[in-house]
Amino acid sequence: MAKQSKISCCFLVFVLVNLIFCNGVLSVRAENEFISAVGDSGMRRDNLRVAIESWNQCNEVGEEALQTGSPRAADCFDIYKATPQPQGEVCFCNQQLPYVLVHRVTEQDNKLRMGEPFFGLQAESQFNVDLYAAEKELYLGFKCQVEDTPNPWQFWMIMLKSGNMDTYAAKCPKNGHRVGPFPDQNSFPCFGKGCMNQPSIYHDYTKLQLPDMILKGRFFGSWDLEADLSRGMVGNISYHSVTWEKKLGEGSWVFHHVLRTSAKYPWLMLYLRSDATHGFSGGYHYPTRGMSKIIPESPNFKVRFTLNVIKGGGPSSQFYLMDMGSCWKNNGKPCDGNVTSDVTRYSEMIINPNTTSWCHANNLNVCPPYHTFPNGTRVHRNDTARFPYAAYHLYCSPGNGEHLEAPFNLCDPYSNPQPQEILQILPHPVWGEYGYPKKQGEGWIGDPRTWELDVGRLSQSLYFYQDPGTPPARRQWMSIDLGTEIFKDPDQVAEWTVSDFDILVPKQ
């Protein structure tokens, strides 16, 4: 009987396909049809668009590094086939230069530093180091922009950040409010005056290598500004490097990342982001440029990519399989740039098996108030028999939340221009339903994988704070990224590659 129904089922599919063919319209109309939300779907476009940005502890510039200028740079080019000159019958014309690479961003653009004018620069930003960088990003975006539907897009964004903070310099606001100098209670690394410096960023413009037709380019540098990088990553210096490589006309770009911490810079971050192409992106209170031409919104989107972790970055490397950033106010309204009422919301899965759960039945302040299972059942964190404590590393509450459920643990008030809320999860069977790792070690060193994560449904199920009785916020994720945060651990090296990245949203 079972066999019988299977056959008729197959037959039905056959007839359906046939019918579509007979009508001469071959349209695959599935109920769940997805399209790409990013400009460069799957990183397959030869004409690359990539940029780099660097942030200090509170996502600003603070002070430019002398050799780099304003810490924003881009590598954007288009390839044209050179017209061959006919030279007889059997012609392998012009084998040396079959293609021409036209770079859209010049060295002069990339080296722009505060004070130097450029097209579109607002007068009030010219001598403000933070505003200058934000506008330089828009300028680079203008040069790199690719027209597309429903929106133009600009570039993948490499993001660097140092966690150093000089609390005596009073550079970072607290939950969005300016505060004066204060003594540090051992929360932030700082070797003294100037510890919040920006790194050097050097640039190897993308070139086409013959004869194997490999396109390759790189950004690299160090926060240790006196370090000699001519011999690469030697000695105990901090280091960052992202190399991109692709065979012309084939496959995906492969982004190869290296991040190294040092005694002076033990807390460093390196991410590859798909940011919003306009408006604010996660953690940044200035208009941004990016790759997400459609902003993915929970619960309907997926993220696909290939990740190969080569070196983990030590036990304190919070390697984010998926990191997402958004912003909404505690009353559920969208952010508008008001840093005292906007709240950045982050969620990430940490896949380093050295990272353990801090959320326990006897440490409820770092657990979200409840967990929601895929079937919608909610379990309160005090339900010790059913709450999946091991699925959570850490939850922290926004510093401006007025109705937080006790006990709570407030998020670091300094590391964003506005208050923030963070939910960090760990590989666990409860996330398996969404395609995430079910146990520690999955996707880690020696286990490269192509993931297709149902980030939309997972992020819809996560707890985020809102004032009681307010309509639920639209969870729109302006930043979707991958990478690591080595948290206060010197002399550690992380190394990984990312390729095939895509964000998929339902076709409207």
Using CB under 6 A, list all residues that contact ligand NAG.
Answer: 235-236, 315, 338, 340-341, 353-354, 373, 375, 377, 380, 382, 491
Distance of closest approach, residue 303 Cβ to ligand NAG, in angstroms: 24
- Tracing tokens 């950033």 back to the chain, one arrives at 325
In the complex with ligand NAG, the residue whose CB is nearer, 341 or 365, is 341
In the complex with ligand NAG, the residue whose CB is nearer, 87 or 340, is 340
In the complex with ligand NAG, the residue whose CB is nearer, 308 or 418, is 418
The whole-angstrom separation of Cα 206 and Cα 214 is 10
Closest-CA residue to 483 (of 501, 475, 491, 495): 495
Q: Within 13 A of 164's CA, how many CA atoms are on the CB side?
A: 26
Distance of closest approach, residue 465 Cβ to ligand NAG, in angstroms: 14
Distance of closest approach, residue 377 Cβ to ligand NAG, in angstroms: 4
Distance of closest approach, residue 235 Cβ to ligand NAG, in angstroms: 5
The whole-angstrom separation of Cα 225 and Cα 219 is 15
In the complex with ligand NAG, the residue whose CB is nearer, 153 or 320, is 320
In the complex with ligand NAG, the residue whose CB is nearer, 217 or 398, is 398
Distance of closest approach, residue 65 Cβ to ligand NAG, in angstroms: 23
Distance of closest approach, residue 440 Cβ to ligand NAG, in angstroms: 8
SS3 81: strand
First to last CA, the chain: 40
Distance of closest approach, residue 420 Cβ to ligand NAG, in angstroms: 16
> Is there a contact between 242 and 216 (Cβ–Cβ < 8 Å)?
no
Q: Within 13 A of 219's CA, how many CA atoms are on the CB side?
A: 27
In the complex with ligand NAG, the residue whose CB is nearer, 279 or 315, is 315
- Tracing tokens 């002070």 back to the chain, one arrives at 63
In the complex with ligand NAG, the residue whose CB is nearer, 201 or 367, is 367
The whole-angstrom separation of Cα 144 and Cα 49 is 7
Closest-CA residue to 48 (of 117, 125, 104): 104
The whole-angstrom separation of Cα 411 and Cα 367 is 13
Distance of closest approach, residue 187 Cβ to ligand NAG, in angstroms: 21
In the complex with ligand NAG, the residue whose CB is nearer, 122 or 340, is 340
- DSSP symbol at 264: S
The whole-angstrom separation of Cα 160 and Cα 162 is 7
> Is there a contact between 483 and 272 (Cβ–Cβ < 8 Å)?
yes
Beta bridge partners of 217: 244
The whole-angstrom separation of Cα 109 and Cα 143 is 10
Closest-CA residue to 376 (of 455, 269, 299): 299
In the complex with ligand NAG, the residue whose CB is nearer, 353 or 448, is 353
In the complex with ligand NAG, the residue whose CB is nearer, 243 or 341, is 341
Distance of closest approach, residue 393 Cβ to ligand NAG, in angstroms: 14
Distance of closest approach, residue 439 Cβ to ligand NAG, in angstroms: 13
The whole-angstrom separation of Cα 161 and Cα 284 is 12
- DSSP symbol at 3: H
> Is there a contact between 453 and 296 (Cβ–Cβ < 8 Å)?
no
Q: How many CB atoms lie within 10 A of CB 106?
A: 10
> Is there a contact between 255 and 499 (Cβ–Cβ < 8 Å)?
yes
Side chain identity, residue 475: R
In the complex with ligand NAG, the residue whose CB is nearer, 11 or 373, is 373
Distance of closest approach, residue 339 Cβ to ligand NAG, in angstroms: 8
Q: How many CB atoms lie within 10 A of CB 80?
A: 10
Distance of closest approach, residue 234 Cβ to ligand NAG, in angstroms: 8
- Tracing tokens 């640039």 back to the chain, one arrives at 203
In the complex with ligand NAG, the residue whose CB is nearer, 83 or 375, is 375
